[in-house]
Amino acid sequence: MVEFRSDFLQLLSSRDQIHQSTDEAGLDSLMRQERVAGYIGFDCTAPSLHVGSLVQIMTLRRLQQTGHKPIVVMGGGTTKIGDPSGKDEMRQLLTSEDIESNKQTIFGIFERFLKFGEGTSDAIMVDNADWLDRLEYIPFLRDVGRHFSINRMLTMDSVKLRLDRDAPMSFLEFNYMILQAYDFVELYRRYGCRLQAGGSDQWGNIVAGIDLGRRIAEAELFGVTSPLITTSSGTKMGKTAAGAVWLNAERRSPYEYWQFWRNTEDGDVGRFLRLFTELPESEIGRLEALEGSELNEAKKILATEATALCHGHDAAVEARAAADAAFERGELSDKLPTFDIDRGQQGQWRDGRSNTAIVVASHLVSSSSEARRKIAEGAVRINDRIVHDPNEIVMWTDVDPKLGAFKVQLGKRKIVLVKPKK
């Protein structure tokens, strides 16, 4: 491990949050001598970010905590192009109105992790549409495009992987690297930004921006990437049967968010405590050394700490209390995730719905076939009773009278409510 002397790089290194960096010694020296403005870009492709962006958000948070200035760049311009990194097909193009709406809701996420304001270390949020939308095509090609080699661009992972799979790549997407590189130069000119951070899949784009800054602005710029996060079993972090693990409470409740972290695989507990909480290393070392059933307490602490950062302390405490009540005392709570199931009109589904239909409605599985398979395995409980027949009808009269819903449990860790709705 490199022995960094700056607080920021020491902190990132201790949290296993550095994958690659350019000129480590130069960046370390710069960050000891002055306050550095650093940025990460986020495209506005959805009304919320998900946990796949959380490492980058934590990077900005740690940048601010060590006295430097975070710049959150909303990709109002680059979202119109679509980042090809890690994709086999072109992203769906959004309208300007959709992009603006997404940008506004995403800002609320950053307000929970960063302090925004006018202070020297306060974060700022900018939109790259402010400069990209105003570019003139021919002057941009002459002034910027001439510095990019097609030969080199074809070797970049975002391009090479797509071509290796014989997946089409539009000229629109091919321009993304150039626009992101130009963002770095523009941020240097406007805000004195010297550092760009991102996931390891952004390495080529970051290096391109550093090279462009040297060529057209005589700027010494730096880059650092974090590892892309997969679980111990090799799956991409944040992918569940119910879909992405969103950071907005409107799309995933604090309870569901807490439960996601509670279900962390045993081999990931220590790593995730370092990446996604601010517990001291001594406490993390103690927690990751726990074994057997005691490790469950470490998972609960991870879930509570991560949820507190994203949704606030009170929401995290309420989520843990609801989970303890449901799993340890068998008590139902309106804090549990609740999903609707169509009760239908008189005639169809008059008396109830099948076990399969109720499990599908719970969003604990992704399909009817998976629901049938889990039922056959004996992994499903409805109202605390193990169900075995996927076609058995559960009567509407069996709903919990207080909450008007069925309690659906998959395995030992997942409980939701399914509420009949006319």
pLDDT at 102 over 80: yes
Rounded to an integer, what distance in angstroms lies between the CA atom of residue 210 and that of residue 156?
A: 15
Least confident range of 1-5, 60-64, 127-131, 316-320: 1-5
Give 123's pLDDT tier (boundaries 50, 70, 90): very high
Least confident range of 87-96, 346-355, 362-371, 413-422: 87-96
State residue 84's pLDDT score: 63
- Report the pLDDT averaged over residues 306-323: 94
Which is more confident, 142 or 347? 142
- Report the pLDDT averaged over residues 210-228: 95
Q: How does pLDDT run across 17-62, given as a tens digit for each residue?
A: 999 999 999 999 999 999 999 999 998 988 899 999 999 999 999 9
Rounded to an integer, what distance in angstroms lies between the CA atom of residue 403 and that of residue 413?
A: 21
Which is more confident, 87 or 253? 253
Pair 342, 421: CB distance under 8 Å: yes
pLDDT at 348 over 70: no
- Report the pLDDT averaged over residues 198-221: 94
Pair 318, 397: CB distance under 8 Å: no
- Report the pLDDT averaged over residues 213-233: 93
Closest CA to 158 of 141, 143, 146, 170: 170
Least confident range of 79-88, 191-200, 254-263, 293-302: 79-88
State residue 183's pLDDT score: 96
Which domains can be identified in the chain, with CATH numbers?
7-226 (3.40.50.620), 253-328 (1.10.240.10), 338-421 (3.10.290.10)
> What average pLDDT does the chain have?
89
Give 89's pLDDT tier (boundaries 50, 70, 90): low
Q: How many other C-beta atoms are found inside a 10 Å radius of the C-beta of residue 422?
A: 7
Q: What percent of the chain has pLDDT over 90?
A: 56
State residue 172's pLDDT score: 73
Pair 239, 210: CB distance under 8 Å: no
Rounded to an integer, what distance in angstroms lies between the CA atom of residue 63 and that of residue 113?
A: 11
- Report the pLDDT averaged over residues 109-138: 94
- Report the pLDDT averaged over residues 255-272: 94
State residue 90's pLDDT score: 55
H or E segment at 125? strand 124-127
Strands (E), 164-310: 195-199, 222-226, 239-240, 243-244
Pair 285, 30: CB distance under 8 Å: no
State residue 4's pLDDT score: 93
pLDDT at 300 over 80: yes
Q: What tokens were used for 163?
A: 């071509």
Does the pTM exceed 0.85? no
State residue 345's pLDDT score: 57
State residue 330's pLDDT score: 67
Rounded to an integer, what distance in angstroms lies between the CA atom of residue 55 and that of residue 208?
A: 22
Rounded to an integer, what distance in angstroms lies between the CA atom of residue 291 and that of residue 312?
A: 29
Q: How does pLDDT run across 126-157, given as a tens digit for each residue?
A: 999 999 999 988 888 888 888 888 888 777 77
State residue 86's pLDDT score: 53
Which is more confident, 198 or 231? 198
